[in-house]
């Protein structure tokens, strides 16, 4: 048999299923137009780019998490990982669109315009995000520190890309945007191992100040939580309207400051009471002038007659 003739003869048999397929889905139908070999290859490439991208980014994030947990604090590490995640997802998106033969230049152009619009709309978020980097780099506080921002103080609960969350001492969660933190005065109360308790006391003018200071020093020396070194300090603040102002500072371990505060105030009050040393409070002393008859400073003789003797 002639081989060519065989091919010619067998050709209709091979094409038969395809013909049936195109009979069911004609090439001019919507499915026929969409589902071509090129489309199938494209879908496979997109799926491959997506899967490989996710695997690659997942691997990088895992390695990064391990590295940051060893070498950085939780707050910096978390931020680095989050940035890497955002970059990774952008990489997957671009790679997938490239695999889908989407014209990226046009898309990026459109994205640029959209970015400007979104940028204006999301400038606060962007500002918070960038502020987060400065907060991290300055290392002013870390998770677990007690900080004070304006009138708000509390334990740093978490440090996120956009905000810092504080747990206040009455157990409320407060979110402070990073931008606010950058602009505000932030006090880190627990940064150093020791902290001074500042006590302002006002004594009456008839108080023996030297004795009062000795008593205060003795109170501090007998307070178990008060540190021997640095020693307590005192300073006469000046003569005020109501008494003599005295500043007394006692050092405590930072984690014992609260107890130390209560112990010191109670002990000072008890001891000063026992020693007979008085606290001053706003008073006004009036010294009446002695009234001499006929000096003109008292009531007139007519009025004096009317007044009861």
Partner 1 sequence: MTIWKHWTLPKNEGTRLHELGTSKICVAVDTAGEGDILAAMPIYPSTAAGTRTTGKKPGISLPPLTDSAWTRFYIGTDDGYKLSPAYPPLPVCVHLRESFFLPPGTTLEGWIFSRIQVRITANEAEVASFPLQRPFKTLYGTPDAGVVCRYDEAEFLASREPIVSSFNAHPGYVAHPVRLRNTSSDPVLVSDLCIYGEQLSIFGVESIMQSERLLFIFSSSGVRMSLDGQAPLPPGATTIARPLVSGEERFIVRSFELFKTMTRI
Residues that bind partner 1 (CB under 8 A): 192-194, 224-230, 251, 253
Closest contact distance (angstroms) between CB of 77 and partner 1 is 24
Question: If we measure between CA atoms, which residue out of 172, 238, 229 comes closest to residue 209?
Answer: 238
Q: Give the Cα separation of 251 and 246 in Å (integer).
A: 17
Nearer to partner 1, 144 or 230 (CB): 230
Closest contact distance (angstroms) between CB of 67 and partner 1 is 25
Residue 268 burial class via C-beta count within 10 angstroms: exposed 0-12, middle 13-18, buried 19 and up: buried
Nearer to partner 1, 230 or 299 (CB): 230
Strand, coil or helix: what is 261? Answer: helix
Closest contact distance (angstroms) between CB of 194 and partner 1 is 5
Half-sphere exposure of 54 (CA within 13 A, CB side): 5
Nearer to partner 1, 229 or 285 (CB): 229
Nearer to partner 1, 45 or 191 (CB): 191
Nearer to partner 1, 194 or 217 (CB): 194
Question: If we measure between CA atoms, which residue out of 169, 166, 188 comes closest to residue 177?
Answer: 166
CB 157 within 8 A of CB 173: yes
Closest contact distance (angstroms) between CB of 253 and partner 1 is 4
Half-sphere exposure of 192 (CA within 13 A, CB side): 6
Closest contact distance (angstroms) between CB of 248 and partner 1 is 17
Question: If we measure between CA atoms, which residue out of 143, 137, 182, 146 comes closest to residue 160?
Answer: 143
Q: Give the Cα separation of 216 and 250 in Å (integer).
A: 10
Q: How far is CA 54 from CA 51, 91, 181, 212, 290, in A?
A: 5, 10, 35, 73, 98
Q: How far is CA 266 from CA 194, 249, 272, 300, in A?
A: 21, 15, 10, 55
Nearer to partner 1, 128 or 225 (CB): 225
Nearer to partner 1, 234 or 251 (CB): 251
């Amino acid at each position: 048999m002639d081989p060519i003739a065989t091919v010619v003869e067998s050709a209709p048999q091979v094409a038969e299923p395809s013909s049936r397929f195109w009979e069911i889905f004609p090439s001019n139908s919507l499915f026929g137009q969409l589902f071509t070999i090129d489309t199938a290859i494209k879908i496979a490439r997109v799926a491959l780019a997506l899967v490989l991208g996710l695997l690659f980014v997942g691997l990088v994030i895992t390695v990064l998490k391990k590295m940051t947990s060893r070498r950085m604090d939780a707050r910096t590490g978390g931020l680095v990982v989050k940035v890497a995640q955002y970059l990774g997802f952008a990489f997957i998106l671009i790679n997938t669109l490239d695999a889908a033969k989407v014209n990226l230049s046009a898309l990026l152009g459109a994205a640029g315009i959209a970015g400007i619009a979104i940028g204006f709309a999301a400038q606060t978020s962007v500002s918070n995000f960038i502020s987060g980097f400065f907060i991290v780099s300055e290392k002013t506080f870390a998770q677990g520190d007690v900080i004070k921002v304006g009138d708000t103080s509390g334990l740093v609960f978490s440090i996120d890309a956009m905000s810092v969350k504080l747990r206040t001492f009455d157990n409320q969660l407060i979110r402070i945007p990073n931008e606010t933190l950058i602009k505000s005065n932030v006090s880190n109360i627990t940064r150093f191992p020791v902290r001074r308790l500042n006590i302002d006391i006002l004594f009456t003018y008839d108080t023996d100040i030297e004795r009062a200071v000795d008593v205060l020093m003795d109170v501090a020396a007998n307070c178990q939580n008060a540190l021997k070194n640095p020693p307590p300090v005192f300073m006469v603040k000046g003569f005020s309207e109501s008494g003599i102002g005295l500043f007394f500072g006692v050092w405590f371990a930072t984690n014992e400051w609260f107890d130390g505060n209560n112990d010191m105030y109670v002990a000072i009050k008890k001891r000063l009471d026992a020693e007979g040393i008085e606290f001053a409070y706003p008073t006004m002393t009036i010294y009446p002038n002695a009234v001499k008859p006929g000096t003109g400073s008292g009531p007139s003789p007519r009025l004096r007659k009317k007044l009861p003797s």
